[in-house]
Chains A and B, each alone.
Chain A
Amino acid sequence: MKTILKGLAALALAGAASLPALAQEAPDTSISGTISVLTWPNNDRTFQALLPAFNAAYPNITVNVQGIPQANNGYLNAVQRAMLAGSGTDVAMIEIGMMALLRDKPQWVDLSQAPYNAGEFINDFAGFTVANVTLPDGKIAALPKHTGPGGMFYRSDIFAEAGLPTTPAEVGALFADWDAFITEGQKLVIPNERWVIGNGEEIVRAMMAQAGVSYFSADGKFNIDDPIFKTALEKVKQAADAGMISPFTAWSPEWQGAFQRGQLATALYGNWFGGLLKRAYAADQSGKWAVTQVPGVDGKRSFNSGGDYIGILEGSQNKEAAWAFIHWVVTNEESLKQQYQNDDLYPAFTPAGTSEWINFADPYYGGQNVNEVFAPVQAEMTPFTLNALDPVAATAMGTAINNVARGVQSVDEALAAVKAEVEAQM
């Protein structure tokens, strides 16, 4: 009797293990060795948690995870250090903000070459991420891991209090474009007590992406004269004049506290923001939040905020094992599922978009399946053109946004300042 039960149990387990439709290999014992993986918190802990599943597929590969925090450019320095040292680190993650600076360096292994042949399946990833990792000469510098499809997180209870609709569909329809955002959003404002968004940068980032405009064009020209920048800054000014923008600096303790105290009615960020709300900023506000699309520019409502990639360093002594790891991490169902559930990281691997662990009624959002908002955003994103001077432009633009919001400069003055600041560095 016992043996029959054991046998049944084993069968059931085997059956369960073979259910997922995504890439699930039988244990591969041929690849062995030790690799060192560089990443930042909370990914390091998530990777650690993933190792049992990884080793089930690759029992002979030992993975050492190194977590270096991103604060003070710490992680960027660590990657740079790994690249300069030429050995010691096999795999490193690249955050979207660092992509422009790092991707064309020779220290990343070209994954389009044999034996990786990433080109064969690269189009299974979201289109704009493929553009980010592919260099003009066809080299693929890293594999896309996650994206940050953008949405408008909002407090449905505050909306109800202000007399606005509360369901995602209604709110999405009401806030169809940025003018509506200003006109309708004003109703949420209580001077010095409640604001609509934390920072004007949320507006500008979204509008740029929706208009499909990057800071620099492919030939390196600075796009500051594109009308979208002026329009975006004017919207910031209108929002600030209506009292919609909070005085807090994004990511500061006061800003985080503002969410706790219900002082911010919406937040325009990538899907990962939900994870922050759930775990840190608004852990006790379950059921009060919902997500809908952000207002659009000419009907385009998709924007991306965040994302990361993962690549192999040229100095790696065990590129085979490194490849096995990164390939598994970005395409394996269990891997993507845990990263989504632990950190709300949205897979760049498109087949994952139909999984049940990503499409479910989330009690935190009052039972909403927020993937209905995020999946279309991912699909419609226009690729960005990356340029090494993006950090310079972003910083200058950040200053301009704040100046306009605080009334320190007019929109034209602010734009001129951005132009001067960036051109001094070109």
Chain B
Amino acid sequence: MIGSLRNSEKRFNLLITLVLFALSIFFILPLYWTAVFATRTLNEVFQFPPPLWFGDNIVQNYRNIEAVFPPFRPIINSLIVAVPKTIGLVLVSALAGYGLSRYTRAPGHKAVLIVTFATLFFPPSLALIPFFLQMNALGWLNTYWPLIVPALASGFGVVWMYTYIGSTVPKELYEAAEMDGAKGIATFFFVVLPIIRPGLAALSVWTLISTWNDFQIPLVVISDGSKFTVPLALTTLSTTHYSDMPAVMLATLMGLVPVFILFALLSRQFIAGLTAGSVK
């Protein structure tokens, strides 16, 4: 009886897998079409219905990008911003999240929690002008500092880590660590950090993606074309009234490659977290 149960389970699982696969096709579509358009000419892109298969114009599109900016430069610029920021943000957030989730009785805990939450509620775009004035006063305009340092204090990151650590790390672990003589911060680095890798990976993914796509803040801060990150550089491929769509698509694809690589690296952390999840 267990055998047949297993079989029907397996069949059910297979069905689910196929259904999910069909669904996932819809999610691949933007990327697929970006790739198709990246190989087409401007004329072909405007056809109705649009082309469904790849064309042969990719070399010319690459040359069109080259005519405006060195194609790999914005990618490097984006990496210069995204990598330090992700590492820093995740660390700062995990640390603060740990403090908030463990020491719920410390004086001032509630105040910090409320302030952290409050930072989430404020629409970011409005702070743009005062932010600009601040960066101007610091002499940080046209550098990458404004894109990295202020972002390290992410209310979102702290709340996520607070939620995740709170629901993943059992109190008994802290007690055990204390008995072994580990102090607060040391506990964080040696005991907590290894266990919360899926949470760290998730936050890293989010930070990476949002930094990569960030348009408004870099636009306000960076005036030198050679320092443009990917989204800004993409817009220089367009003039006021028309965009060189195939070139934009190709540049987008190129800009995605580093994200994919980093993503693949982070994905391994998810699997690693699986085995580490078996906490007594």
Contact = CB atoms under 8 A, between A and B. Distances in A.
Interface of A: 40-42, 45, 66-72, 74, 77-78, 81-82, 84-85, 88-89, 251, 253-254, 256-257, 260-261, 272, 276, 279-281, 283-284
Interface string B122-148: 000000010011001000011000000
Nearest to B241: A276
B219 interface: yes
Nearest to A308: B240
Interface stretch (B40-48, B88-96, B171-179, B205-213): B40-48
A85 B45 CA distance: 41
Contacts of A41: 236, 238-240
Given A66-B225, A67-B225, A72-B215, A85 B141 contact: yes
Interface in B187-222: 215-216, 219-220
Contact of B238 (A71, A257, A283): A71
B219 A77 contact: yes
Contacts of B241: 251, 272, 276, 280
A89 B224 CA distance: 11
B235 interface: yes
24 contacts: A40-B239, A42-B240, A68-B219, A69-B238, A69-B240, A71-B238, A77-B220, A78-B219, A81-B132, A81-B220, A81-B223, A84-B129, A84-B133, A84-B136, A85-B141, A88-B141, A256-B242, A260-B46, A260-B47, A261-B48, A276-B241, A279-B242, A281-B46, A281-B242
B225 A276 contact: no
B245 interface: yes
A89 B238 CA distance: 23
Q: Which 7 A-B pairs have the closest CB atoms?
A: A257-B46, A69-B235, A42-B239, A280-B242, A41-B239, A260-B46, A70-B240
| Highest count of chain A CB atoms <10 Å: which of B141, B225, B245 | B225
Interface in B233-257: 235-236, 238-242, 245
Contacts of B240: 40-42, 69-70
Contacts of B68: 45
Nearest to A250: B241
A45 B48 CA distance: 31
Contact of B43 (A72, A88, A260, A276): A260
Nearest to A74: B219
Given A84-B132, A88-B141, A283-B43, 13 more contacts: A66-B224, A66-B225, A69-B236, A71-B235, A72-B216, A74-B235, A251-B241, A253-B245, A256-B46, A257-B48, A276-B241, A280-B42, A281-B242
A84 B133 CA distance: 8
Contacts of B245: 253
Interface string B158-183: 00000000000000000000000000
Contacts of B46: 253, 256-257, 260-261, 281
A258 to B, nearest CB: 9
Contacts of B133: 84
Nearest to B242: A280
Contacts of A72: 215-216, 219
Contacts of A256: 46, 242
A283 B240 CA distance: 18
Contacts of B220: 77, 81
Contacts of A260: 43, 46-47
Contact of A257 (B47, B132, B136): B47
A69 B235 CA distance: 6
A254 B225 CA distance: 30
A332 B238 CA distance: 27
A25 B216 CA distance: 42
Nearest to A95: B240
A316 to B, nearest CB: 15
A313 to B, nearest CB: 13
A284 B43 contact: yes
B55 to A, nearest CB: 16
A41 B68 CA distance: 10
A17 B43 CA distance: 40
Contacts of B225: 66-67
Nearest to A41: B239
Contacts of A254: 48
A380 to B, nearest CB: 25
Contacts of B236: 41, 67, 69
Contacts of B42: 280, 283
Contacts of A280: 42, 241-242
A89 B240 CA distance: 21
A66 B228 CA distance: 11
A67 B46 CA distance: 26
A284 B47 CA distance: 14
Contacts of A42: 239-240
Nearest to A72: B215
A208 B221 CA distance: 39
Contacts of B129: 84
B192 to A, nearest CB: 41
Nearest to A261: B48
A84 B216 CA distance: 17
Contacts of B235: 69, 71, 74
